[in-house]
Amino acid sequence: MSTAHDLRARVRAAFDAIGAQVDLAEPGGPGLPASTPVTGEVLFTHPETTPEQTRTAIADAAQAFTTWRTTPAPVRGQLVARLGELLREHKADVATLVTVEAGKITSEALGEVQEMIDICDFAVGLSRQLYGRTIASERPGHRLMENWHPLGVVGVITAFNFPVAVWAWNTAVALVCGDTVVWKPSELTPLTAIACQALIERAASDVGAPAHLSRLVLGGREVGEALVDDPRVALVSATGSVRMGRQVGPRVAERFGRVLLELGGNNAAVVTPSADLDLAVRGIVFSAAGTAGQRCTTLRRLIAHTSVVDTLVERITAAYRSLPIGDPAAEGTLVGPLIHETAYRDMVRALERARNDGGEVIGGERVHVGDEATEAFYVTPAVVRMPAQTEIVHNETFAPILYVLTYTTLDEAIELNNAVPQGLSSAIFTTDVREAERFLAADGSDCGIANVNIGTSGAEIGGAFGGEKQTGGGRESGSDSWKAYMRRATNTVNYSSELPLAQGVHFG
């Protein structure tokens, strides 16, 4: 089991390799704490950004925007290409910090950095494909067209569970679109943010890009509020809880800014009688237990046909018992820690409420890893057979709890899938093409992501990521998500010597 001393050494080694220059003080000193869920201890303290410093960072980014917006998009792409190269070079270093700060197992941490590399590749290609369109004009001698222009400063607020990938989703795309970025990471994961800021600054220096294209602000609520309320921030892209989104959305709207919200998920998988159960079990176990249940796309509800539910639960619980739980950096570990004690307490309360609602709970116990006195919180993933989709099932608990519900008709299964206030990710396991197509149809899953024969988590960057209802409606990453970071201008060019009016209007 890793000790705090080991983890501090790994952080310093990664910072040295990356070239991150920051004053990391020993625990107990002035500044904000940087903790690890691996042992539950504070590793360092680091300087906090004040609200006034946040406003200065926004001003710097706004000034940089005046130059960056007129830089040709393919040239902007060179910066993102260089960032991708540096991420490839330091993939293991950044992944080490993700494991230390977020508690992800090594494979998932490396996968998160690979996601950053992938979005850089995507954005570089995008830098030559920011297409407008030509539209048929009803007036002779006229051309009607659309152009897309940079939007401005983009404020990015990220959560602890993907401490670097979501920043990269936003930053890579925003930069090629001609925007500048001010990033407020979760106060639980400052070290990964400091490392990424060092890499983007190095990339900008290497390609001769303007300074202050990407700024980092570290702190809590006051720092976030300064970012949200500043009229110079054209778009706020915020990832977090529904509660946070309820506060961010109206505050930005009040000043007529734009928001891109990625909020809660309460994701379900339907398993039909025709499903390949071997495939389903593998997909369910990773989606439900991976990242210790702390993904926004984690599978939280299993909607199984009455004819397969008993077999399915038996196989899932058997698989759960075989999952190695422990130090996320240790070889073979598949389930690491919860982020902190609050997450553990939330899990305990949710399981107790499920029992009170008639649920049968299997698993969900705390596991002591290493020192019995550790402040870390490791748990066994829980399977909970529920008699109905009660209020606790409608609420997202950020922990490895899989509620099991049953159905008899596909209409009933789709109704259960859609009956929660969140609408992020969903899946169906079936070998019946009619069932699959019905699930994907307009009257099927109401989620932003609907999968067939794969789990709810593990999205690729080529597709737009995001959800509906209380998930916030935002879209990030691939497809045409870039349009959120630009403003559209409709242009009419009259190249004739006449001046006909639209709709046949005559004036004078």
Indicate the SS3 state at residue 329: coil
pLDDT, tens digit, 9 for 90 and up, residues 480-505? 999 999 999 999 999 999 999 999 89
Residue 496 lies in a domain: no
What is the CATH classification number for the domain harbouring 383? 3.40.309.10
Residue range 100-154, pLDDT digits in tens: 999 999 999 999 999 999 999 999 999 999 999 999 999 999 999 999 999 999 9
Average pLDDT over every residue of 369-376: 77
For residue 133, tell me if it sits in a domain: yes
Domain-embedded: residue 493: no
The confidence score (pLDDT) of residue 71 equals: 98
Q: What is the pLDDT of the chain when averaged over all its residues?
A: 96
* Per-residue pLDDT at 370: 78
Same domain assignment for residues 48 and 177: yes
Clarify whether residues 236 and 272 are in a common domain. no
Q: Does 455 fall in a domain?
A: yes
103, with CB counted inside 10 A (0-12, 13-18, 19+), is buried
Band of residue 373 on the pLDDT scale cut at 50, 70, 90? low
- Please indicate, yes or no, if residue 494 is contained in any of the structural domains: no
**167 and 185 inside one domain:** yes
Q: For residue 501, is it within any domain?
A: no
Q: Is residue 77 part of a domain?
A: yes
262 is catalytic: yes
In degrees rounded to 5, what are phi and psi of residue 455? -75, -170
- Average pLDDT in the 292-303 region? 98
Q: Cα(355)–Cα(452) distance, rounded to whole angstroms?
A: 31
For residues 180 and 283, membership in a common domain is answered with no
Please say if the pLDDT value at position 285 is more than 80: yes
Residue type, 160: F
Look up the CATH number of the domain holding residue 216: 3.40.605.10
SS3 116: helix
Length of the chain in residues, anyone?
Answer: 508
The long-range contacts involving 201-207, CB below 8 angstroms and separated by at least 24 positions, are: 202/19, 202/86, 203/79, 203/80, 203/82, 203/83, 203/85, 203/86, 204/79, 206/82, 207/78, 207/79, 207/82
125 occurs within a structural domain? yes
Give tens-digit pLDDT for 386-400: 999 999 999 999 999
Q: In this predicted model, what pLDDT tens digit does every residue of 312-346 receive, in sequence order?
A: 999 999 999 999 999 999 999 999 999 999 999 99
pLDDT of residue 208: 97
Eight-class DSSP state of 303: E
207 and 256 assigned to the same domain: yes
For the entire predicted model, the pTM comes to 0.96
CA distances (Å), origin 344, targets 25, 97, 371, 403: 28, 22, 18, 17
Confidence grade of residue 57 (pLDDT, cut at 50, 70, 90) = very high
Q: What is the dihedral of CA 324, 428, 348, 190, to 10 degrees?
A: 70
Q: Which burial class, exposed, middle or buried, applies to 383 when counting CB atoms under 10 A from its CB (0-12, 13-18, 19+)?
A: buried
| 332 and 444 together in one domain | yes
Confidence of residue 231 (pLDDT cuts 50, 70, 90): very high
Range of the domain at 457: 267-465
pLDDT of 139 reads: 96
For tokens 């060179």, the residue is 78
* 162 and 244 share one domain: yes
What are 180-189's pLDDT values in tens digits? 999 999 999 9
Check residue 372 and give its pLDDT: 61
| pLDDT for 26 | 84
Containing 277, the helix (H) or strand (E) segment is helix 277-289
Residues 170 and 257 in one domain: yes
269, 456 in Cβ contact below 8 A?
yes
Domain count, the chain: 2
Instruction: Give 41's contacts (C-beta < 8 A, 6+ positions apart).
Output: 4, 27, 35, 375
| Structure tokens given for 377 | 């919180």
Rounded CA-CA distance 488/88 in Å is 34
Q: In this structure, are 145 and 188 located in the same domain?
A: yes
Are 207 and 299 members of one domain? no
246 & 271 share domain? no
Query: In this predicted structure, what is the pLDDT of residue 241?
Result: 95
pLDDT surpassing 80 at residue 443: yes
Residue 381 has pLDDT above 80, yes or no: yes
Choosing from 262, 396, 435, 476, which is the catalytic residue?
A: 262
Q: Is the dihedral of CA 181, 186, 190, 196 positive or negative?
A: negative
Instruction: Kindly state whether residues 94 and 145 are assigned to the same domain.
Output: yes
If pLDDT is split at 50, 70 and 90, which confidence band does 167 have?
very high
